[in-house]
Structure 1
Amino acid sequence: MFCEDHSKLCCALCHFHEHRQCAKLVLIKEKSTEEILDEFHQISTTIAECEQNLETAIGDAYNWLKTLQDSYEEANGEIKDFRTKINNIFDELEKKTINSLDDMYHTIKKSIQLELETCSRIQDEFKRFKDVHKIKENPSNELVFVAYQTSLDNISQAKIILKEMAVNANPTISFENNPDFEQSLIRFSSIGNFKREVKQLKKSTNELIKCSNKVLYNVRVPSDSRKCDIRSICELPKREILILDYANSRVKLLNKQYKVVSHADLPESPYDMCSISPSEVAITITDGQKGTVKFLSVNNGQIVTGRTFSFEHKCHGIAHAEGHLYIASCTELYQYTMDCTLVKKIYEDSSDNCSVFKCAISPDGTHLYVTDRSRHKLLTLSKDGTLKSKLLDSAHRRPGGLHVSETGQLLACWSEAVVQVDGEGRMVTLASKEGGLNCTESVYYNARTGKVVVGHTSDSILVITTI
């Protein structure tokens, strides 16, 4: 049956439990008209649109889960950072309190030692008086007078010191905590509050990034022997940033203020890096014709070395998506599992030695981007490796690092510029040589913070604020 009051199909049970009071109940065969049949054939278009919208919504929901996890990790890290600040404050208060204790202790100790010295000196004077008194022969009047007068002075000093020692007898030190301080802490139920934020991210991959401010930040450390050459950039959930310094064979950790807070040496110069978890990255190293992928993690502001995998081919570019690693070997693009088991070779171009240099993947995993450094091209591949397009611009040479933001914007590095590439292959320059860039190699864009970080051959990175 069909309930026209609710526009619902209903069986006998539905009729009994939910539609007994309904006035318009008709048999299904009475509703089966030609008009309905025509609408049935037309509804497939609506279903297709709904399916597409559902697929997009499902993809968004998975991205939201990742973003939620990232924000959880960031909040957790901020709690630990705040706790560290509190600990540092307590450490400083403890240090000052102990210094006050030390001052009091040494003051009292010095006072007692002075009293001991005074007592010992007076004892020595009394001993000398006794020695004079024991002289068998009659001492001279002058000696007797001196001894007598000195004794009077010593007796007077002895009475004074004994009186002072009686007043200050057996001194000790006790500690009284500040009750107001303790009560202030007890009043707090937590060290902070949380708020739920719903951040609307830009959805269109063609939406242009607009720059408003550009600042250079120094990333050189005292032990660097060469000018820095930043080949790759990754941001962690706590907004810490990892950068690869090719020239000095190092990975460096930057805080939110873009200051180097830690670094780790690598066996060879690194080429590329990608995030594989909220606190872990994979980096590529090439030595001759063989390559290495090394996993690194960040724990409490320190870089920790993890697993290392070796390959019979070079390892230059690397990207991560849906539990797989994509590795560019200069002439091939491979897909591996997370334990570096080969899945397949996706793409190959052996016509030159840098035709598959760096790689990136779209958020939905449907497109792969590859830089052909030899021919100065940006390639777009389908997931199965089919070449879909080639982008060549005479104004730009030697493409390097790539980055696809979580909102789908594609950023590419060329020799002396960073550009955004839209879906039609149009390029918009975000920064260039005129802005201080030199041999640009890496870029990272966080759509949530609106920051673009650019690495090049320089002791400084360029940070662009967007609007």
Structure 2
Amino acid sequence: MASKFESSIQRGCDFIHDFACSPCEEDGLNTEAQHFCNLCTKYYCDICVTKHNGLYKRHSVLDRKDVKKWAAPPGMVDVLERCERHPGEALKLVCGDHDQLCCHVCVAVDHRNCSSIQHIPDVAKGIRKDPEFRQLPQRVAVLRKQIEDMINDRKKNSASLRKTRTTIVDEIKATRKKINDILDKMVKTTVHDLDRLVADQELSIQKDMESCTQMDDELKNIIYDIQSKDSSGEPPLYIGFRKCEEIIKQANELLQNMSSVVKYEITFRKHNEIEDNLCSVTTFGELNDSNVFCKQPRTSLFPRDHVFATNGYKKYNVKISSDKGKCDIRGICELPGGEIIITDYNNMTVKLLDQEYRVVNHCDVPKYPFDMCHIGGNEVAVCVNNNDNRCELHVINITKGKLVTTRKLSLFHRCFSAAHHGNNLYISSNTALYVYTMTGKLIEKLYEDKSVMRIAISNDGKTIYTTNLSKNQLITLDNLGNKLATFTDPDLLGSWGVHVTTAGHVFVCCYNSNTVLQVDKDGKTKLATLARRQDGVYTPQAVFFSSRTSSMVVGGWKDTLRVINVR
């Protein structure tokens, strides 16, 4: 048994390495390489590279940081074509059912029941002429620039945080100094009052002692005089007696008056509220994390069953000089940085608003833009229609405050609403709900009805909400397209826009009743009518809950957005 164990150690383990150490391999060992020599064209582990460097001091050796520059050994699969799940296998096939690249092992293990398995050389024909492939370098360049900008922003953010920390610490120290000054003043005042009281008491004690001493001297002197006159006759003794009686009377009165004060003392009763108040406060102030890139938006501060109430509203004009008509806002979404993007159907434009709801940039689209959705980072997907079946989904990127269309997905049906979850896009055609991949490949028709207006998806992807304009309904579906609930209400006339927050709160805006409603997560009950026409809401078509400001942004057939504060 021992010999077998030792030989196993010598042979090395059976792991499959992307690069094996060349000297170890010659000795029958299987050791992962950590270095590559361009001149020797050999791979070395950490032990063997030390021997190599001792023999060839002028050779250039690359470590794992430059692994992309290593030459692939004969018979090894190129890094680009290598299967990540099965490193020893090359990607030769593509599964259309899952839109996934596969090797033969992948197909045998995970895709044996799939109906659309194609050979990559067949699918790859004409790839150089594919518009998306030709745009790939530009898209990657744009994305890398965004990543670079993000890194720079984070560096600035880090420096800003450190500066903020210093400022806050200085403010804490200043507050501490003020508190110390107040306490020092309190100590000084209290000690001054104590010293005054002690001085008054000591003065009284001194007066008592002086009076007693004086009375004692008088008594001593009078009794001495009487005793010295004993042989002088009775008249002097009588006079001495009378005087002594008077002094005794004065002494008794003095002692009686002084006995009313048994003891001079000072007591102290501290103000407990000072200590209690300080103990009840554990910090010098509240520290608030105001990250705008937070994974848990502020809606998560409200329980999922929280019923909102309005707390006033403001209106913001979004009309720009190039607009040819009244604004018709049909889509609203918020970027991670707090910027708002809206679609203006009537003026065929997409507008970028800053955090103060001022239009800072816009880009025109060829035809009428409807709904939109955020698909990640600073990208949104906008539904663009030509009032026929020639419709597209435009992917627009926001770079340095500019709206740039980076790609377009052609659809065989109309495109009224879009939602994004996971790696899929959900598109409403007004008569059906379709599911697409991010590259525009149709996966399935999930649901069909005569009117599927707008759609919204819960954060977990399990619940889909869709408005039915013609029937004044909110339909709730599961992620398989099964209908879970149908909601109607007198305030739900012309149900148009629908939005669900990360925490699961559902809002619906209604075109004909000029209302914004909150509906429960099951899509069965109205929880509140949050806004009506008297609140400035007129023909609303789009509603969005801003996690940054805890407010609802409502748009419609008007030149202004309504931003309704809620609590």
Output the TM-score relative to the length of structure 2.
0.47
Q: Which amino acid aligns with 1:370?
A: T
Matches within 5 A, 1:165-180: none
- For 1:466 and 1:271, the matched residues in 2 are separated by 26
- For 1:435 and 1:368, the matched residues in 2 are separated by 29
SS of match in other structure, 2:496: coil
Q: Which amino acid aligns with 1:422?
A: D
SS of match in other structure, 1:76: helix
- For 1:356 and 1:74, the matched residues in 2 are separated by 41
Deviations 1:144-176 (A, max 9, x none): xxxxxxxxxxxxxxxxxxxxxxxxxxxxxxxxx
- For 1:282 and 1:321, the matched residues in 2 are separated by 12
Contact kept? 2:393, 2:408, Cα under 8 Å: yes
Aligned equivalent of 1:215, options 311, 314, 327: 314
Tell me if 1:420 matches 2:497: no
Q: Structure 1 residues 328 and 78, CA, compared in 2 at 3 Å: closer, same or farther?
A: farther
Tell me if 1:233 matches 2:332: yes
Aligned equivalent of 1:375, options 446, 471, 484: 471
- For 2:335 and 2:290, the matched residues in 1 are separated by 20
Deviations 1:214-240 (A, max 9, x none): 000000001111110110111111111
Match of 2:485 in 1: 389
Matches within 5 A, 1:63-78: 76=153
Deviates more, 1:442-451 or 1:275-284: 442-451
Contact kept? 2:416, 2:453, Cα under 8 Å: yes
Contact kept? 2:341, 2:351, Cα under 8 Å: yes
Q: CA deviation at 1:420?
A: 1.0
Deviations 1:74-113 (A, max 9, x none): 9938959x99xxxxxxxxxxxxxxxxxxxxxxxxxxxxxx
Match of 1:262 in 2: 361
- For 1:74 and 1:363, the matched residues in 2 are separated by 27
Over the matched positions of the two proteins, sequence identity in percent amounts to 35
Match of 1:337 in 2: 437
Q: Structure 1 residues 282 and 196, CA, compared in 2 at 3 Å: closer, same or farther?
A: closer
SS of match in other structure, 1:434: helix
Q: CA deviation at 1:205?
A: 2.8
Contact kept? 2:517, 2:526, Cα under 8 Å: no
- For 2:491 and 2:311, the matched residues in 1 are separated by 24
Contact kept? 2:473, 2:492, Cα under 8 Å: no
Tell me if 1:278 matches 2:373: no
- For 1:278 and 1:74, the matched residues in 2 are separated by 13
| Higher alpha-carbon Rg | 2
Q: Structure 1 residues 257 and 369, CA, compared in 2 at 3 Å: closer, same or farther?
A: same
Aligned equivalent of 1:458, options 545, 548, 558: 558
Matches within 5 A, 1:112-151: none
- For 1:242 and 1:309, the matched residues in 2 are separated by 20
Gaps of 5+ in 2: 1-146, 161-287
Q: Which amino acid aligns with 2:322?
A: S
Contact kept? 2:437, 2:443, Cα under 8 Å: yes
Aligned equivalent of 1:409, options 489, 500, 505: 505
Q: CA deviation at 1:448?
A: 4.2
- For 1:322 and 1:209, the matched residues in 2 are separated by 28
Contact kept? 2:543, 2:554, Cα under 8 Å: yes
SS of match in other structure, 2:492: coil
Q: Which amino acid aligns with 2:460?
A: D
Contact kept? 1:450, 1:465, Cα under 8 Å: yes
Contact kept? 1:74, 1:239, Cα under 8 Å: no
- For 2:350 and 2:310, the matched residues in 1 are separated by 28
Q: CA deviation at 1:335?
A: 0.6
Match of 1:204 in 2: 303
Q: Which amino acid aligns with 1:403?
A: H
- For 1:336 and 1:446, the matched residues in 2 are separated by 27
Matches within 5 A, 1:243-262: 243-262=342-361
Tell me if 1:440 matches 2:517: no
SS of match in other structure, 1:365: coil
- For 1:387 and 1:337, the matched residues in 2 are separated by 23
Gaps of 5+ in 1: 1-69, 84-193
Q: Which amino acid aligns with 2:487?
A: L
Contact kept? 2:457, 2:500, Cα under 8 Å: yes
SS of match in other structure, 2:419: strand
Q: Which amino acid aligns with 1:233?
A: I
Aligned equivalent of 1:324, options 420, 424, 432: 424
- For 2:457 and 2:486, the matched residues in 1 are separated by 16
Q: CA deviation at 1:203?
A: 5.6
Q: Which amino acid aligns with 1:289?
A: N
Q: How many residues align?
A: 283
Deviates more, 1:387-396 or 1:277-286: 387-396
Q: Structure 1 residues 271 and 460, CA, compared in 2 at 3 Å: closer, same or farther?
A: same
SS of match in other structure, 1:331: strand
Output the TM-score relative to the length of structure 1.
0.57
